[in-house]
Amino acid sequence: MSVGSVILVGAGPGDPGLLTRKGLEALRQAEVVVFDRLVGPDILSLMPENAEKIDVGKQASNHPVPQYRINQILLEKALEGKRVVRLKGGDPFLFGRGGEELELLKENGISFEEVPGVTSALSVPAYAGIPVTHRDYCSSVHIITGHAKAGAELKIDFDALRRTNGTLVFLMGVTALPLICKGLLDAGMAGDMPAAVIERGTLPRQRKVVSTLEKLPQTAQEANIVSPAIIVVGRVCTLSDSFDWFDHLPLKGREIIVTRPAERNGSLCGKLSALGASVTAYPCIRTAERADNPELEGAIGKLNDYRWLVFTSPVGPGIFFKHLRKQHKDARALWNLKIAAIGPKTAAELEKFGVFADLVPETYDSDHLAQAMAHVEGPVLLCRASEGSDALPKLFMEKGIPFADVACYDTIYEAPNSDSVKELVQSGAIVTFTSASTVRGFVRSLPDTDFSKIVGCCIGRQTAAEAEKYGIPVRIAEKATMESLIACIKGVY
């Protein structure tokens, strides 16, 4: 068996957007990923599903795996012939023991690479509006650990640090914060030297305290600042208020649960995160194509009997055309049909198969689609979920328009990690609902839960009506688009 390799990858400080492209590529190719406590959940979710994942940040006893053992794990996995990624917070070579981990590999002739990461030492101050250097204030920056080796005393040459007149950045310094400040004051640094602590930097729950060297330990304690946090001492800290862009993002720190199916929640989650929200992807439904679908096949077999073909979600066209192809037919089989799509995304799916929709309602939901179809000539073929809204069938029955309601796919309700979501629901998060089925999936996943504290931001009146049935206070997006849903969320605050 051939010997594997190890890539040390810097995961950055937490914001998944700060993982480098090279790091992401290495992660995607990994067969084994050995990761630390400081690597955020969004980055962990990028690991390949079938990769072996080894968490060395904590064990059952809650103690981290000792360093010598981590070194051994990397060696063992490489000797098994695996492509190993060692994923570390920030940059692996900056207070990350990256060097120590490479020594054993080097001794054993294992090939390795290092992918630098965005270090917290520079990026966390940046997200707090602190440029670590500025020509008007300083000409150097110094990065110092506030953590002593086990059993040893904290040995920092405070006098030398003071003389640099540069910006001082302390990592791992929360516990030693009083000692650090006292050391600098004793070395003669002015008590009113601006200083800051930033906790959980670059993440939606980032918090910062800006004060003076003299008062920082007290202010940080009052604010209950905990690790991981970065301490910055220097005049550049005065810029923090005017340059703070991150705290001013419109959804900064807001908790938002996104219930869309996993394959379609990416762009919404990404857009909300970019606005500063703390986003929890909670895909409690998924769509499943039916393996056998005699009903759909039958309908396709006599397409000429219909006048209209209707798709109510972007999932429908792909399934329809797959079955059409099975019968060795193509878009020409639709020559005699008019086609309706519930919205532009569905219409765009149709276009992939060379078909333009004849009708897309102005507001993209079933009610408006029904209204727009009130005077069509039947029969109508509805190609949609087995549990679709009743707006269209109801209208067709009222108007005496013949129709067939054919299930293209089923909605499967499922609920991953509902414990953490339960806590968010109790403390009052925003939950996005893009269809009545997402409401049902959400509610079913959280039995015996009081939903009165959350706000359900919904697409479509029917979705909102479903949410209200379970006591969820709702807001309705003006239009059935992601942009409008985001505007609706912004409006809650």
- Dihedral angle of Cα 433, 435, 439, 444, to the nearest 10 degrees: -130
Instruction: Name beta bridge partners: 278.
Output: 255
| Triad 104, 156, 223: Cα angle to 5° | 100
DSSP 66: P
DSSP of 330-392: -GGGGTT-EEEESSHHHHHHHHTTT---SB--SS-SHHHHHHHTTT--S-EEEEEETT--SHH
> Of the candidates 11, 115, 120, 441, which one interacts with ligand SAH according to CB under 6 A?
120
Instruction: Return the number of the residue (200 or 323) whose C-beta is nearest ligand SAH.
Output: 200
Q: Is 233 in the site for ligand SAH (CB under 6 A)?
A: no
**Cβ 268 to ligand SAH shortest distance, Å:** 24
For the chain, counts of helices (H) and of strands (E)? 19, 20
> Of the candidates 124, 337, 355, 476, which one interacts with ligand SAH according to CB under 6 A?
124
Instruction: Return the number of the residue (155 or 375) whose C-beta is nearest ligand SAH.
Output: 155
Q: Is 13 in the site for ligand SAH (CB under 6 A)?
A: yes
Give residues 285-324 in contact with ligand SAH (rule: CB under 6 A).
none
Q: Is 127 in the site for ligand SAH (CB under 6 A)?
A: no
Cβ-contact 66, 48 below 8 angstroms? no
- Listed in order, strand segments (DSSP E) in 127-193 are 141-145, 167-171
Which is catalytic among the residues 15, 22, 36, 367?
36
**Cβ 87 to ligand SAH shortest distance, Å:** 11
**Cβ 253 to ligand SAH shortest distance, Å:** 15
Q: Is 200 in the site for ligand SAH (CB under 6 A)?
A: yes
What string marks each residue from 163 to 182 as x (binds ligand SAH by CB under 6 A) or -?
--------xx----------
Torsions phi, psi for 416 (to 5 deg): -80, 170
**Cβ 197 to ligand SAH shortest distance, Å:** 9
Amino acid at 438: T
Q: Is 227 in the site for ligand SAH (CB under 6 A)?
A: yes
Q: Distance (Å, rounded) from C-alpha 289 to C-alpha 112?
A: 44
Q: Distance (Å, rounded) from C-alpha 272 to C-alpha 486?
A: 7
Cβ-contact 120, 89 below 8 angstroms? yes
Q: Distance (Å, rounded) from C-alpha 436 to C-alpha 387?
A: 10
Q: Is 467 in the site for ligand SAH (CB under 6 A)?
A: no
Q: Distance (Å, rounded) from C-alpha 44 to C-alpha 190?
A: 43
| Chain position whose Cβ is nearest to ligand SAH | 90
**Cβ 213 to ligand SAH shortest distance, Å:** 18
Q: Is 333 in the site for ligand SAH (CB under 6 A)?
A: no
Taking alpha carbons only, the member of 482, 410, 477, 471 closest to residue 443 is 471
Instruction: Return the number of the residue (230 or 310) whose C-beta is nearest ligand SAH.
Output: 230
Catalytic status, residue 58 = yes
Helix (H, G, I), strand (E, B) or coil at 120: helix
Instruction: Return the number of the residue (115 or 376) whose C-beta is nearest ligand SAH.
Output: 115
Q: What DSSP element (H or E) covers 9?
A: strand 5-10
- Listed in order, strand segments (DSSP E) in 396-448 are 403-413, 430-433
Instruction: Return the number of the residue (67 or 108) whose C-beta is nearest ligand SAH.
Output: 67
Q: Is 96 in the site for ligand SAH (CB under 6 A)?
A: yes
Q: Distance (Å, rounded) from C-alpha 375 to C-alpha 355?
A: 23
**Cβ 375 to ligand SAH shortest distance, Å:** 59
The residue assigned the tokens 């055309």 is: 321
Q: Distance (Å, rounded) from C-alpha 395 to C-alpha 138?
A: 72
Helix (H, G, I), strand (E, B) or coil at 145: strand
> Of the candidates 26, 38, 239, 315, which one interacts with ligand SAH according to CB under 6 A?
38
DSSP 282: -
Helix (H, G, I), strand (E, B) or coil at 182: helix
Instruction: Return the number of the residue (94 or 381) whose C-beta is nearest ligand SAH.
Output: 94
Q: Distance (Å, rounded) from C-alpha 289 to C-alpha 407?
A: 9
Cβ-contact 440, 422 below 8 angstroms? no
Instruction: Return the number of the residue (16 or 228) whose C-beta is nearest ligand SAH.
Output: 228
Which is catalytic among the residues 15, 22, 53, 58?
58
Count of residues of this chain found to bind ligand SAH when the rule CB under 6 A is applied: 24
**Cβ 295 to ligand SAH shortest distance, Å:** 53
Stretch that binds ligand SAH, among 68-76, 227-235, 389-397, 407-415 (CB under 6 A): 227-235
Instruction: Return the number of the residue (201 or 217) whose C-beta is nearest ligand SAH.
Output: 201
**Cβ 59 to ligand SAH shortest distance, Å:** 19
**Cβ 50 to ligand SAH shortest distance, Å:** 28
Instruction: Name beta bridge partners: 194.
Output: 212
Q: Is 129 in the site for ligand SAH (CB under 6 A)?
A: no
Q: Is 229 in the site for ligand SAH (CB under 6 A)?
A: yes
Q: Is 94 in the site for ligand SAH (CB under 6 A)?
A: yes
Binding site for ligand SAH (CB under 6 A): 13-14, 38, 89-91, 94-96, 119-121, 124, 171-172, 198, 200-203, 227-230
> Catalytic residues, which ones?
36, 58
